[in-house]
Amino acid sequence: MIFKGYKLAKEIVSQLGLRVAPNKQFVVVQVGDDPISDLYVSKKKEIADELGVNFRHLRLGGDTTEQELIGQIDELNNDLRVGGILVQLPLPAHIDRIKIAKQISKDKDVDGFNFILGEGDFKTYPPTILAIDEILDFYKIKKIGKKILIIGGGFLVGAPLKLFWENKKLQPSVLKQNDTQYAQKIKESDIVIMATGGGGNFSSKDFKSGATVVDASTVSDDGEIRGDIEIENWPEDKNLVPVPGGVGPVTVAELYRNFFDL
């Protein structure tokens, strides 16, 4: 079966709509002119407008230096009118995303970078991690006692998701590309999270009957967003949270829940 994220995202946004929006700005800082980033920012603004959130899109040139971006974030950290800061990824190659992530105040960290970095005290979890976890709960996919596999242990999804679930007493494994039992481990797993970063070519045949697969990878393919999984002819005996329309809409909803809760 195909599990979309729109219904859960709508529920989260509807719940937030019953609350009074924070009387502060939600600031998205974007460096450069990546068309896919433009799409993501427009989706965030759409939800902000629906919730009555004061949304500010701060676009910086692609030649912005790392130090200039750090200076801009410091300014936002100290601006009492600002309640949430999101630096839109990816950043240009000359800017170290970890340095930038470390710069964001935990009090305005809607993207959960402080949790990802293991900086000790933190106030939010990464929205993508929350989205993956809650989609599984929403569709009544049991995690306890299941063989959970995360493909890719990256900065944004794989590593923090593993930690998040370990804190919930689950035992996920991370699969790296050079693993000699790569295909076998995928085939044996009950829940598989695709977190390769995008561009993989997996089909339903790679997973066992009864498996639940969450595609959390995105890549631009001729201007279209796609993940790691071939969606066409997906069978009824396996579950798929696809790209697009799966984790993405819920991630945006969770982002605003973080903002309301900060």
- How do the pLDDT tens digits run along the chain, 262 residues long? 999 999 999 999 999 999 999 999 999 999 998 888 898 999 999 999 999 999 999 999 999 999 999 999 999 999 999 999 999 999 999 999 999 999 999 999 999 999 999 877 899 999 999 999 999 999 999 999 999 999 998 999 999 999 999 999 999 999 998 899 999 999 999 999 999 987 778 999 999 999 999 999 988 777 778 899 988 899 999 999 999 999 999 999 999 999 999 9
pLDDT in tens, 144-171: 999 999 999 899 999 999 999 999 999 9
Q: Are 182 and 224 in contact (CB under 8 A)?
A: no
Six token digits for residue 11: 């529920």
Cα distance between residue 94 and residue 96, in whole Å = 7
Same domain flag for 75 and 166: no
Domain membership of residue 114 (yes or no) is: no
Q: Domain containing 161: what range?
A: 127-247
What 3-state DSSP class applies to 192? Answer: strand
Into how many domains does the chain fold? 2
Domain membership of residue 9 (yes or no) is: no
Taking each helix axis as running N to C, give the angle between helix 35-51 and helix 247-261, from 0 to 180 degrees, rounded to the nearest 10: 50
Domain membership of residue 204 (yes or no) is: yes
Same domain flag for 170 and 62: no
- Block residue for tokens 């809760």: 261
Q: Are 186 and 175 in contact (CB under 8 A)?
A: yes
Six token digits for residue 5: 């994220």
Q: Are 32 and 65 in contact (CB under 8 A)?
A: no
Same domain flag for 146 and 239: yes
pLDDT of residue 157: 95
Same domain flag for 243 and 186: yes
Give every CB contact of residue 226 below 8 A, 6+ residues apart in sequence: 198, 218, 219, 243, 244
Domain membership of residue 260 (yes or no) is: no
Question: DSSP for 89-140?
Answer: SPPPTTS-HHHHHHHS-GGGBTT-HHHHTT-S--S---HHHHHHHHHHHHTT
Same domain flag for 131 and 217: yes
Cα distance between residue 15 and residue 203, in whole Å = 36
Same domain flag for 82 and 180: no
pLDDT of residue 35: 82
Read off the CATH number of the domain in which 36 is found.
3.40.50.10860
Six token digits for residue 89: 């990824």
Domain membership of residue 152 (yes or no) is: yes
What 3-state DSSP class applies to 144? Answer: coil
Domain membership of residue 32 (yes or no) is: yes
What's the distance, CA 118 to chain centroid?
17
Read off the CATH number of the domain in which 158 is found.
3.40.50.720
Please confirm whether the linkage preceding 235 is cis (ω < 30° from 0): no
Same domain flag for 46 and 96: yes
Between strands 25-31 and 148-151, the pairing is unpaired
Domain membership of residue 118 (yes or no) is: no
